[in-house]
Amino acid sequence: MTRRRHRLRVDGVVQGVGFRPFVFNLAESLGLAGHVANDSEGVILEIEGDPAGLATFRRRLEAEAPPLARIESVVAEPLPAVGAEGFAILPSLDSPGTSTCVPADSALCADCRREILDPGDRRHRYAFTNCTNCGPRWTIIGRIPYDRPFTSMAPFAMCPDCEREYHDPRDRRFHAQPNACPACGPRLSLEGEGVDPAADPLREAARLLAAGRILAVKGLGGFHLAARADDQAAVLRLRARKGREAKPLALMVADLDAARALAAVGDDEATLLSSPQAPIVLLERRPGAALAPAVAPGHRRLGVMLATTPLHLLLLAEVQALGAGALVMTSGNAGDEPICLGDDEARARLGEIADAWLLHDRAILRRADDSVAEVVGRRTLLHRRSRGYAPLPVLLDGGGAPVLAVGPELKNTVCLLKENRAFLSPHVGDLQNLAAYGFFQESIRTLQELLECGPETIAHDLHPGYLSTRWAREQARDAGKRLVPVQHHHAHLAAVLAEHGHREPALGLILDGTGYGTDGTIWGGEILAGNAAACTRVGHLSCVPLPGGDAAIRHPRRLALSHLRAAFGDELPDLPFLADQETAIVLRMVDGGVHSPLTSSCGRLFDAVAALTGGWREVRYEAQAAIELTALTTCAAVEAARPFAWEIDEAGDGLLLPCGPIIRGVVAAVRAGADAAEVSTRFHRTLLDLLVEASRRASRLTGLRTVALGGGSFQNGILAALLPPRLEAAGLRPLLPRELPPNDGAVSFGQAAVARAGLA
Ligand code: ZN
Ligand code: ZN
Ligand code: FE
């Protein structure tokens, strides 16, 4: 039989994920010879044997790759057969200029789960169990290559049993860098008032939780604050101490059955919940679920995640044994600050919030907040891309000079574009917050250090006042960096197109909160045409004054007044809330144009409509009114609804989508007794009809048929579900974000794509 030999180069996330042992075992099982090694690019291997065996090897190499591997490409090259025998794993081939991907953290795998729950296993109840298929990565990596001495596992010397596993290519823990066991690995401790120091930390922590106490839990990418989810007093206490009045709190449960007890879990949702990324998934609440009302007041949906680490699973098991079920598991911080990282930081920053601290002696080196997602149709819609996803790169279809993009002000992430890979930081948060600004700088430093790349080009938002913009300008002044200012909604458009590898010009339907426009007004309800290289504004929602500028974000009624003035002029309709004291002041601002920049924001139109129903006098976070208004309706109701009247003006140079007719329709409905749910349903229907027709006309004007959908309003599950099929029915080709959220979390990526296009 003729023997053949091939050299294969495998690129992607293939290091630190058990790829070499997988190759070893596959080759041995097929009786093939050769060797495999890591190098600075990925994995390189040589394989020799009969042609049928080699063909099977090639097929199974990609089809059966380990769960955490992500193969980007396999390039094969024939070599002369040398009559090799046996298969070997060779030491890493070190070469300078590393471009290897940094792996992301991964939730507990089924095998490790079985072990920690098995009283006969040596890792029974061990909170730091992991293997090549699961466990911490990004959050423990000090620098690359990803080897134990450069992680926060460095201080722990492996015991003989762990050593044996680590060096045995047939073992699931072969080269599992964080490998540990109760004899040699990190340990838990519990501190706080009334804590029994002799007690088992997990049992004692569970006892405190069951009794309604608030615990700071040192997890994977930072601290969580935990409390019993069925204890109203505990949840209220947590809200009061954390300064979080309204936003729903995330829940953690032990398994899918526990999730199903709280909420409806479809097949795709079950898959997402139990994926290695294990995000918080938004689920429809089950009536009568055993939950404190304060967990998610005013929300039909719950944010639920499964226990993502052995520590969390063991804690939930202990809590369940004491008769409690789900735990509130919210970011360990006060207000909107970044999640806490170190023990001392947590003791200081969470001192007024937590009653006790469940700690361990393994350092967290990188912050990673929980990711948030939902299933829309059969797609995953990300709301926040963080733990489990970051820093896995988004691939672009081409290389070029590196770019650092510093993102917008809210929901900030930063992005380092190196060759064809865009590395986005985990969710940084809202930069108005000083601590978040520190995390922003830390995120830039981290990406630049880990990827050994300090780009000369920095892309930033057009808004002169954003802290991210100011930071970029300092770099230009102090370090001679070259700046590329990028309009916010152009970045949204470019982000969606770049994810799809779409280089040709396309339409962009960008429905958003706010972003600084090229004409100095505040944009946010835009129809754009272009690509990363250039874009023009083809149409937009009509503009109204934004009374008080950004401050109006917290006062939906100000937007209602502004829209009422635009729709009705001096003859305002008789609505109960107009009796409000603030009305006259706000109207004076609107009429006089005092601190009232014009805005075409779609998010603020939602605010106005919500406020016109009489509710949402004041909100605690951006888009709260819009989110809660949307929660009052369903896709089925919207499809069956009667729209309000709407129109489109074809102005000389584009399309104007006037809000006036819609506002007048809302007011008429409210005065006829419609409740917020009915208004919400009909408003969504109106927007859909309006946007489909506007897209059709924009397509006719420009000759473009592809429509990129982006902006924070596409976190609205109803728009995200109903708009794409309707656009398709109109003969257009909608593109939705896939790996990134539609909201401002993707803006840094779009900025990088725009800057890259300008460098080409
Ligand atoms: Zn595992
Ligand atoms: Zn050990
Ligand atoms: Fe935006």
Q: Is the pLDDT of residue 649 over 60?
A: yes
123 CA distance to ligand 1 middle (Å): 12
165 CA distance to ligand 1 middle (Å): 13
- CATH of the domain spanning 4-89, picked from 3.60.21.10, 3.30.70.100, 3.30.470.20, 3.90.1150.10: 3.30.70.100
Segment 302-330, tens digit of pLDDT: 999 999 899 999 999 999 999 988 999 99
68 CA distance to ligand 2 middle (Å): 23
141 CA distance to ligand 2 middle (Å): 20
Residues, CB within 5 angstroms of ligand 2 (ion)? 159, 162, 181, 183-184
- Beta strand pairing status for 506-516 and 251-253? unpaired
Q: What is the mean pLDDT of residues 650-676?
A: 94
| Window from 152-156, 285-289, 690-694 with minimum mean pLDDT | 285-289
User: Residue 4 to residues 10, 25, 52, 90, 124: CA-CA distances in angstroms?
Assistant: 19, 19, 10, 21, 46
Q: Is the pLDDT of residue 544 over 50?
A: yes
252 CA distance to ligand 1 middle (Å): 20
- For 509-737, which CATH class? alpha beta
More confident position, 659 or 40:
659
206 CA distance to ligand 2 middle (Å): 26
pTM: 0.94
699 CA distance to ligand 2 middle (Å): 63
Q: Is the pLDDT of residue 249 over 50?
A: yes
Residue 661 near residue 645 (C-beta atoms within 8 A): yes
In this predicted structure, what is the pLDDT of residue 96? Answer: 44
21 CA distance to ligand 2 middle (Å): 20
Q: What is the mean pLDDT of residues 120-132?
A: 97
Ligand nearest to the CA of residue 525, numbered in listed order: 3
Residue 597 near residue 545 (C-beta atoms within 8 A): yes
Ligand nearest to the CA of residue 711, numbered in listed order: 3
Q: Which residues of 261-277 are buried (b: 16+ CB within 10 A; e: fewer)?
A: ebbebeeebbebbbbbb
Token output for 582: 């603030």
- 188-372 CATH: 3.90.870.40
Q: Is the pLDDT of residue 620 over 80?
A: yes
Segment 491-515, tens digit of pLDDT: 999 999 999 999 999 999 999 999 9
* Residue 77 to residue 705: CA distance in whole angstroms: 41
Residues, CB within 5 angstroms of ligand 1 (ion)? 109, 112, 131, 133-134
330 CA distance to ligand 1 middle (Å): 25
| Window from 142-146, 385-389, 573-577 with minimum mean pLDDT | 142-146
* Residue 188 to residue 311: CA distance in whole angstroms: 9
187 CA distance to ligand 1 middle (Å): 18
Ligand nearest to the CA of residue 601, numbered in listed order: 3
Residue 446 near residue 478 (C-beta atoms within 8 A): no
216 CA distance to ligand 2 middle (Å): 27
Residue 629 near residue 554 (C-beta atoms within 8 A): no
183 CA distance to ligand 2 middle (Å): 5
Q: What is the mean pLDDT of residues 640-665?
A: 94
In this predicted structure, what is the pLDDT of residue 97? Answer: 44
107 CA distance to ligand 1 middle (Å): 8
Residues, CB within 5 angstroms of ligand 3 (ion)? 512, 744
Ligand nearest to the CA of residue 172, numbered in listed order: 1
489 CA distance to ligand 3 middle (Å): 6
155 CA distance to ligand 2 middle (Å): 13
Residue 713 near residue 691 (C-beta atoms within 8 A): no
The mean pLDDT value of the chain amounts to 93
396 CA distance to ligand 3 middle (Å): 21
362 CA distance to ligand 1 middle (Å): 18
319-323-326 Cα angle (round to 5): 55
Q: Which CATH topology does 393-500+746-759 take?
A: Nucleotidyltransferase; domain 5 (3.30.420)
Ligand nearest to the CA of residue 622, numbered in listed order: 3
Nearest to 414 by CA among 482, 342, 466, 350: 466
All CATH 3.90.870.40 domain ranges in the chain, comma separated: 188-372
598 CA distance to ligand 3 middle (Å): 16
Segment 250-288, tens digit of pLDDT: 999 999 999 999 999 999 999 999 999 999 999 999 999
* Residue 519 to residue 193: CA distance in whole angstroms: 58
All CATH 3.30.70.100 domain ranges in the chain, comma separated: 4-89
Ligand nearest to the CA of residue 750, numbered in listed order: 3
Q: What is the mean pLDDT of residues 681-704?
A: 97
In this predicted structure, what is the pLDDT of residue 399? Answer: 87
In this predicted structure, what is the pLDDT of residue 29? Answer: 94
115 CA distance to ligand 1 middle (Å): 9
* Residue 10 to residue 471: CA distance in whole angstroms: 38
Token output for 551: 């401050």
More confident position, 237 or 143:
237
741 CA distance to ligand 3 middle (Å): 11
Is residue 490 within a helix (H) or strand (E), and if so which, with residue range?
Answer: helix 488-499
All CATH 3.30.420.40 domain ranges in the chain, comma separated: 509-737
